[in-house]
Amino acid sequence: MATTNRDLLARGIEQLGLDVDEQGLERLLVYLGELLKWRRKVNLIARDTPEPQVIENHFLDSLTLLPLLQGREIHLLDVGTGAGFPGLVLASVLPEACFTLVEPRQKRVSFLRHVIRTLGLTNTEVVADRIEPFIAKWQGRFTHITSRAVAEPALFLPLIRGLVTPQVEVLLMLAHEQALASLDHLDDGFWRIRALHRLTLPFSSAPRLLAMVGAA
Least confident of 20-24, 62-66, 156-160, 181-185: 181-185
Task: Kindly report each contact of residues 48-51 with a partner whose C-beta sits within 8 Å and lies 24 or more positions away, as own/partner.
Answer: 51/5, 51/8
What's the pLDDT score for residue 46?
87
In the chain, count H helices and then E strands: 8, 7
What's the pLDDT score for residue 150?
79
Instruction: Report the distance separating Cα 184 and Cα 182, nearest Å.
Output: 6
Q: How confident is the model at residue 184 (pLDDT cuts 50, 70, 90)?
A: low
The beta strands (E) that lie in the chain are given as 75-79, 98-102, 124-127, 144-147, 169-174, 191-200, 207-215
* pLDDT score of 66 more than 60: yes
Do the bridges between strand 144-147 and strand 169-174 make them parallel or antiparallel, or are there none, so unpaired? parallel
Instruction: Report the distance separating Cα 116 and Cα 125, nearest Å.
Output: 9
* pLDDT score of 185 more than 90: no
Beta bridge partners, 75, equal: 98
What's the pLDDT score for residue 166?
92
Query: Coil, helix or strand for 74?
Result: coil
Instruction: Report the distance separating Cα 11 and Cα 36, nearest Å.
Output: 20
Query: Coil, helix or strand for 126?
Result: strand
The string of pLDDT tens digits covering residues 84-111 is 999 999 999 999 999 999 999 999 999 9
Question: Per-residue pLDDT averaged across 119-138, rounded?
Answer: 96
* pLDDT score of 114 more than 60: yes
What's the pLDDT score for residue 179?
76
Question: Per-residue pLDDT averaged across 32-44, rounded?
Answer: 94
CB burial of 79-107 (b: ≥16 within 10 Å; e: otherwise) equals bbbbbbbbbbbbbbbbbebbbbbbbeeee
The string of pLDDT tens digits covering residues 189-206 is 788 899 999 999 999 999
Instruction: Report the distance separating Cα 56 and Cα 128, nearest Å.
Output: 27
